[in-house]
Amino acid sequence: MAHNNTSQSDIIQLRPILLRWWSARWWFILSVAVCLTIAFIFCKICTEKYEIHASLLIEEDDKSNLNQISISDLFGNKGNINDERFIIASHALMRETVKELGLERTHLVARDWTGKRHLYHNYPVDVQSSVGIADTLRQTLEFKIKVSKAGIVKVKTYLNGDRLSTIKSDSLPVSVKTPCGLFNIIPTAEYQKGKAVSSTIVFEGYGAVAEDLMEDISIEPASKKSNVIKISMPTHDIEYAQDIINTLINKYNIRSISQRSEEGNRTIQFIDSRLELLTDDLADTEAEAESFKKERNIADIVGEAEYQTLKKGKTEQALIEANTEAEILKMALDFLSQPQNAYQLLPASLENKSLQEAIDQYNKLILKHINLEKTARPGNRQLEMLSEQIDALRSNIITSVSRAYQSRMVAVNQLKSEYGSAQSKLGEIPSQERGFRDISRRQAVKEKLYLFLLQNREQTAMMLANATPKGVVIDEAFALKEPLTMKKRYVYLIALVIGLMIPPVVIAIKSLLRNKFSTLEELRSLTSLPILGEISQTRSSSPIVVYEGAQSSAAELFRQIRSHLQFIIPSKRGNVILITSTSSGEGKSFISVNLAETLALGGKKVVVVGADVRKPRLATYLEISERRQGLTAYLASNQLTPADMIISGDNKRLFDVILSGAIPPNPAELLLSDRVETLFEYLSSNYDYILIDSAPVGMVSDTFTLDRVAQATIYVVRANKTTFDDINFVNNIADEKRLTNVALVLNGTISRKGYGYGYSEN
């Protein structure tokens, strides 16, 4: 049972809210229509925004197969993903991308009522500039171009937002002179004669547009442990962003290939210069051997020396290897000692592992210096620190190589000594043979060094021929399926929800801010006083809406009030009912005359007394001549009797009337007269109901004076006029017993279904 009561209470509380919403249903319809219209315009003006993605794998170089001269360093060290990310995002690459795609010009073209749209291609007019302007331009030029259907051209030029000039012409092209240079407005293949054009072209320098792209494009590693770089860009124009990202990747790969080619060419040039020197040395050695044989008439030294060679082979082989390594060390030392080779790669392959590791580390730093030098600005601290590190390492390598060379020369001298000792023991070998072997040994050293350099040159040339980009494109630029912006159906759905929410919110805010009530349910929540009923608004022009056979809502509601009167006053003759309100305009006179007519139609004898002596309106309200004697005249003169003031009913009304009369100078004192009691004693003996149309209690105290003769008080309140404070005022009056037997009547409510038993209002 408790649950059912609670549910019923909730329904009762919800019902007035729903009724209020229903009464404002046209506002709901209008709100939804406006919100959906705004959503439609929004979807037309704001195009969907997509995110363009591309992924790039940065390959690592493999050094395992090139242990001879660190040739692998020519193709970069193992890719540092962060270094490569900064290279891709560098201003230089962005600038090259802007220049290749012509992004220094932004075209905004009016297509329809939605305004201007950015067009990457297919724009009707374009701007051509003098050579080199975009390279150095640091300001923003804006050309607003309008072409009429007749072909009349109007060009407004702005520099950083300030107007420079306005040019009119009969046709395109149009030349525009600016402080930045000469520009030509030209038609494109998309331009159609006889069709109006409204276009805005923003012209900026390559550098400024590159800076904007650096902010728009995101370049991040795919994960911490991978060598994949993700490139993304939000855009309203998919083709525009795809071209930018793909071109940026292409520029990066071209740059990496160019860098590798440059490094390889430098190595080949170095090897070629060494080969040229060795070729001359070999030629000299061979000429010396030929001269030696001719001078000494030696025919077949090889056959003769074969036996001796087997004996001293090990010593001789060791001496050759020692001489070769000493020569390589000397070449490296000579290369490092030359100032022009301070930041060049060091080609060297040594048996000494620690020295070889130092040279490998030195070549890594040199490559890093070359890469950083291309992108860094002068005075870059990182470049300076790298140079200092290279200088220190070069000094250490020179010292180490010098020591190794000296050590190797000691070994060479020692081997020579051992070889000479062995040679001296071979007295049977002619001195010619010894001399020729010395020449042959030198020739063998140079041939081995020559072949070594020639082999490395071929390897470098092969790598250059097979050079591939450092960045392998995994995914070219593509647009994600789902847009970044909200889908249209969601926009319309949100607009619908907002449209349905606005009226209730407005109604709720108005309810919070208002200080007046509008319904019977609200009135019941504000007071515990009995409520006889409510009277709805009527379209009737007559002050009396109750008559014989009337079926209007108002007439039926007055009948209900007549029925409810028996609960507050006894059913006897001579009932005096005081009718008042808080202020004027709340309808107490309307209630008085129509309640009187309702009682009269019920067979009761009724009189209405106009007791609002300060502002009498009853005569005007009932269209009765004000020259008739009224209440004030009776109270002021002992010559008049109650019967002299009574105006009997006629064919317009069934009740009698006593008018207020002329406005007296002392109304409060006049109503205190004993003749008031005399009057109402007479009326009580002759009428069933005496209705007193009194003054508003919130304005004057006259009504409280008349309370002494009344058995009940009908307090009239009006919907959307009587305030919450007025109801508190009535409650206080009733609590303080200043008025007798107070009951309320609500006037001016909105007619609802159910009034008058379903009959429509007249």
**Top-ranked range on mean pLDDT: pick from 37-41, 47-51, 120-124, 551-555:** 120-124
Which residues, including other chains, have CB under 8 Å from residue 53's CB and lie 6 or more apart? 230, 231, 232, 475, 477, 478, 479, 480
pLDDT of residue 7: 39
Q: How many Å is the Cα radius of gyration of the chain?
A: 56
The distance from CA 20 to its chain's CA centroid, rounded to whole angstroms, is 38
Q: Check residue 585 and report its DSSP letter.
A: T
pLDDT tens figures, 442-456: 778 877 887 888 787
Does the structure show a pLDDT above 60 at 654?
yes
Q: Which of 70-79, 311-320, 474-483 has the lowest mean pLDDT?
A: 70-79
d(CA 324, CA 137): 60
pLDDT of residue 466: 60
Q: How many residues does the chain have?
A: 762
In this prediction, residues 5-18 reach a mean pLDDT of 54
Does the structure show a pLDDT above 90 at 21?
no
pLDDT of residue 106: 93
Residue 2, CA distances (Å) to 5, 8, 184 in order: 5, 10, 86
Which residues, including other chains, have CB under 8 Å from residue 451's CB and lie 6 or more apart? none
Does the structure show a pLDDT above 80 at 469?
no
d(CA 599, CA 543): 16
pLDDT tens figures, 71-93: 434 344 444 788 888 888 899 99
* Phi, psi of 578, deg, nearest 5: -90, 125
SS3 665: coil
In this prediction, residues 679-700 reach a mean pLDDT of 90
SS3 233: strand
Q: Are strands 162-169 and 174-178 parallel, antiparallel or unpaired?
A: unpaired
**Top-ranked range on mean pLDDT: pick from 320-324, 469-473, 516-520, 724-728:** 724-728
Q: Check residue 647 and report its DSSP letter.
A: B
d(CA 611, CA 82): 97
Q: Which of 709, 698, 699, 641 is nearest to 672 (CA)?
A: 709
Q: Which of 472, 245, 248, 267 is nearest to 370 (CA)?
A: 267
pLDDT tens figures, 255-312: 888 777 777 777 777 888 877 777 877 787 777 777 777 766 555 555 555 655 665 6
pLDDT of residue 401: 80
Higher pLDDT, 434 or 516: 516
d(CA 696, CA 396): 112
In this prediction, residues 117-141 reach a mean pLDDT of 89
- Residue 167 pLDDT level (bands cut at 50, 70, 90): very high
pLDDT of residue 425: 55
d(CA 478, CA 491): 25
Instruction: Write down the mean pLDDT value for the chain.
Output: 81
pLDDT of residue 759: 33
Amino acid code (one letter) for 748: G
164, 180 contact by CB (below 8 A): no
The DSSP H or E segment spanning 99 is: helix 91-101
pLDDT of residue 669: 85
pLDDT tens figures, 716-736: 999 988 888 999 999 999 999
Instruction: Give me the domains of the chain, ranges plus CATH numbers.
Output: 12-46+485-513 (no CATH), 58-255 (no CATH), 278-469 (no CATH), 520-756 (3.40.50.300)
For 661, left (φ over 0), alpha (ψ -120 to 50), or beta? left
* Phi, psi of 162, deg, nearest 5: -100, 135
Q: What percent of the chain has pLDDT over 90?
A: 24
Does the structure show a pLDDT above 70 at 2?
no
Strand order in the sheet with 218-221: 218-221, 228-235, 50-58, 471-479
pLDDT tens figures, 564-582: 888 888 667 788 999 999 9
d(CA 207, CA 213): 10
First-to-last alpha carbon distance for the chain, in angstroms, is 43
Q: Which of 105-119, 329-343, 545-559 has the lowest mean pLDDT?
A: 329-343
- With 0.75 as the threshold, say if the pTM is over it: no
- Bridge partners (DSSP) of residue 147 are 153, 197
633, 640 contact by CB (below 8 A): yes
Amino acid code (one letter) for 10: D
pLDDT tens figures, 176-216: 999 988 999 999 988 988 888 999 999 999 999 999 999 99
Q: Are strands 141-147 and 153-159 parallel, antiparallel or unpaired?
A: antiparallel
Q: What percent of the chain has pLDDT over 70?
A: 86
Q: Which of 141, 126, 119 is nearest to 173 (CA)?
A: 126
Q: Which of 554, 617, 597 is nearest to 689 (CA)?
A: 597
* 760 class by beta-carbon count within 10 Å (0-12 exposed, 13-18 middle, 19+ buried): exposed
d(CA 181, CA 761): 82
CB atoms near residue 183 (< 10 Å) = 22
Q: Which of 286, 333, 303 is nearest to 444 (CA)?
A: 286
pLDDT tens figures, 576-605: 999 999 988 888 989 999 999 999 998 899
Cis peptide before 173 (omega within 30 of 0): yes
In this prediction, residues 694-701 reach a mean pLDDT of 86
pLDDT of residue 389: 80
In this prediction, residues 222-229 reach a mean pLDDT of 84
Which residues, including other chains, have CB under 8 Å from residue 341's CB and lie 6 or more apart? 335
pLDDT tens figures, 349-398: 666 777 777 787 878 888 877 777 777 777 777 777 877 788 888 788 88
- Residue 760 pLDDT level (bands cut at 50, 70, 90): very low
pLDDT of residue 140: 92
Amino acid code (one letter) for 214: M
pLDDT of residue 4: 41
- Residue 683 pLDDT level (bands cut at 50, 70, 90): very high
